[in-house]
Amino acid sequence: MSSSTTYRLVRPSAAGGAAPPVLDEHQQRVVDHPGGPLLVLAGPGTGKTTTLVEAIVDRIERRGAAPESVLALTFSRKAAEQLRDRVTARLGRTTSTQLSSTFHSFAYGLIRQYSPAELYAAPLRLLSAPEQDVVLQGLLTDTPESVHWPESLRRAVGTRGFAREVQSVLARAREKGLDGPALQKLGFEGDLPEYVAAGLFLDQYLDVLDSQSAVDYADLIRRAVIEAEAHRHELRARFSHVFVDEYQDTDPGQVALLRALAGDGGNLTVVGDPHQSIYGFRGAEVRGILEFPSAFRQRSGTPAEVVALRTTRRFGPRLLLASQRVARRLSLTGSIEEEARRAFLEPVAAANDLGEGRVEVLTFDTERAEAEHLADLLRRAHLEDEVPWSEMAVLVRSGRTSIPALRRSLIGAGVPVEVAADDTPLVQEPALQPLIEALRAVVNLDNDDPEHPDFLDPVRAHTLLVSPLVGLDATDVRGLSRLLRTAEKARTSASGEPPRSSPELLRAVIVQPDLLDGADGPVVARVRGLARLLAGARRRLDAGSTPEEVLWELWSGTSWPARLRMSVESGGPGARLAHRDLDAVCALFETAARAEEQRGHTSVATFLDTLAAQQIPADTLADRGVRSEAVRLLTAHRSKGLEWRLVVVAHVQEDGWPD
C-alpha cells in the first residue's frame, strides 16, 4: 500500500518582508497621501528613496493596487534596480512586472509596443552616444547633398566643435517638441538662417537613423510622447499610480510624457531637489519641478500638494550649514507655496555616528602640488583615521580632461583608484594607445603618402618601438639607430644616394624588416618581432578579418599580456596599474565586438575612424563593478546619489567649478 503526500499552498504573511522603517511625520504624510498629484521636496540625506519605497508598498499592500499598475521612473539603471530590489524586499515577494525603469527604457518599450512592425527594416536599435557623434560628423560634410549652412558658419562645418553645437541644438529642439519643419519655421519667423539649416539637417539626420532602424535618446522621448498621447486612455487605465524620482532632472519632453500618463489629476508622486538640478547641459529644466504644482493640478483645479522632507541623516550640522550657505544663493521661484519653500530651505540635521562633519578649503600653486597633497591626504585618512579606501571619493568636473592625469598621479603615489570604465573615452586611455597605433599601422603599411593623416610617419614608428608591444627604451632606440645608420651609409656609398635620417630609418625598419638582415641581438629580435606581427595582422586584414580578430592578432602576438599578468600576480602599485590596463583592453575588444554585431561587417579603417571620432566615453550596458577597496575617482554628475565618509572636490576654480 503506497502512501501519498498532500501539499497545501499558504499565502505568505506580510511579516515575511523586510521590517518597515521608522518614518518621521513628513515622510508619513507622503505615504498617507490620499491621491492625485504630489510634489515631494527632498534634500540630500532626507530619506527620499525610503519614502518612495514605503509609498509604493502602501499602494500595493494597504490600498490593493496590483503591482503591474504601479510605475516608478528614474534616471539611471542602477537607481531603477535598487528601487525595485527595495520594494521587493519590503513586500516579501517578487513581482511579475518590472515595476521600476528608466525614462528611456520605458519610452523604448512604448515605441516597440505601438509602432507598426513594418515601419523599420530591422529591429529598432537605440543609438549609443558615441555612434550618434559619428553619424552627425559624417553628415556635416561639404558635399552636394549636404545641408547648406549660412556663410557665417561655413568654415566651421566639419569641425568637432560645430558638430557638438549642432547635436545640442537638435537635442534641445526635440525635447521641446520641435521637428524639422517646426525648427525651420522658427528660423524663418525670427530671421535666423542657422535655425532654418538646422531644421533641414534634422530631417536629413532622422532619415539616416530610420534607414538604420535606429533612434537616439532625444528622439526616443519625442516618439514616446506621440505614442503616449495616441494611447492615453489605455495607458492611464494600465498605470493607476506613477512615481518619479529625481524629478528636477526632467526635460520638457519627459514632462509631456508624464502628462500623458498621469495628467488631469492622476495619481502622480514626484520626488526631487531643485538645488540638485545639474543636467541642464542635457536639456533638463529646473522649471519643471518649480512649476509642478500649477502644471499638474488636482481634479478640482487647485495646485498639487507639496510636502518637504526636513530631516537630514547623511551628515552633521557643520556640513549642513556649509551646504545651506551655498544653496541659499540659488533661486527658488515658481508656483511652490511659501510654507513648503521655507520648510525645504530650513532642514535640520539628525544625530549620526560620524559627528558634526568638517569642511576644509585648501589652495595650491600648481596642479602637481595639489595632486601630491591630495594623495597624502587620502593616505593619512586611511592609515591614521582608518577610513577604508572604498569610503573615499575624489570629484572632478570633467572626466575627459581631469580623470586620466589625476588617476595616474594617485596610483603612482600608492593610492588605489577606481574609475568607471565609461568615464574616459577609449581613445584617451593610455593603455590602448599602443594597440590603436598598431592597428592604424597595419591599415597603412602600404601607404606611401606622407601627407595622408594616417601615414606611418617616423613619430608613430618611434611610438610603436617604445610601446609595451616592443618594450624598447631610449638607449635601445639609440643603439638601433646607430646600427641602421651604419648599414645605410654602407649601402648609399655604393649607390651614390643620399643617406636617410635616423627617424626615417626607424620608420623603414618596421615596413621593411629586411634592413636588419645580418644583424642580431635582443633589440633586433624584438624589432623583427614587431615587423612580423604587423605583417601577419595585415595578412588577416586582407583576408577579410574583423577588427576584433585583427586586434586579437596584435594583442596575443606579443609578450605584453604575459607581462601584465605577472604584474597582477606580484601585487603592489604595479598590480593596480596592470588591472586598469587590462580593463581598458577588455573595453576595447567589447567595443569592437559590439560594432560588428550592430552594423554587420565593419572594416578596420572604419572602426578606427569611429574610435577617433568619439569625443565622449563609450557607452556600456552597466557600470563596471568597482573593486571593494579603492578610492572612487569620478565626475560630480556621476556621484549623484552616492555617499562616502571623505569626499575631495579637486581642481576647484572660483566662479568656475563648482558653479
Residues 6+ apart with CB under 8 A from 113: 227
Q: How is 174-235 classified by DSSP, letter by letter?
A: HHTT--HHHHHHHHHHTT-HHHHHHHHHHHHHHHHHHHTTEE-HHHHHHHHHHHHHHTHHHH
What is the rounded CA–CA span in Å between residue 483 and residue 197? 59
**Is the model's pLDDT at 618 over the cut of 50?**
no
Q: Are 12 and 88 in contact (CB under 8 A)?
A: no
Whole-structure pTM value:
0.67
C-alpha cell at 658: 563648482
92-101 pLDDT per residue, tens: 877 767 788 8
268-272 and 241-244 beta bridge pairing: parallel
558-578 pLDDT per residue, tens: 888 888 888 877 776 667 677
% of residues, the chain, pLDDT over 90: 20
* pLDDT for residue 32: 94
161-184 pLDDT per residue, tens: 788 788 888 888 887 778 889 999
* pLDDT for residue 617: 44
* pLDDT for residue 624: 43
Q: How confident is the model at residue 38 (pLDDT cuts 50, 70, 90)?
A: very high
425-469 pLDDT per residue, tens: 666 677 788 888 899 899 888 888 888 878 888 888 888 888 888
Q: Are 510 and 464 in contact (CB under 8 A)?
A: yes
Range with the poorest average pLDDT among 89-98, 384-393, 472-481:
89-98
* pLDDT for residue 622: 39
Residue 51 belongs to what H/E stretch? helix 48-57
Average pLDDT, the chain: 83
* pLDDT for residue 14: 47
**Is the model's pLDDT at 197 over the cut of 60?**
yes
**Is the model's pLDDT at 236 over the cut of 90?**
yes
Nearest in space to 559 (alpha carbons), one of 477, 468, 486, 450: 468
Q: Are 454 and 442 in contact (CB under 8 A)?
A: no
**Is the model's pLDDT at 580 over the cut of 80?**
no
Residues 6+ apart with CB under 8 A from 167: 132, 133, 136
What is the rounded CA–CA span in Å between residue 209 and residue 67? 36
Range with the poorest average pLDDT among 7-21, 73-87, 314-328:
7-21
Range with the poorest average pLDDT among 90-99, 189-198, 358-367, 630-639:
90-99
What is the rounded CA–CA span in Å between residue 457 and residue 454? 8
What is the rounded CA–CA span in Å between residue 369 and residue 364? 6
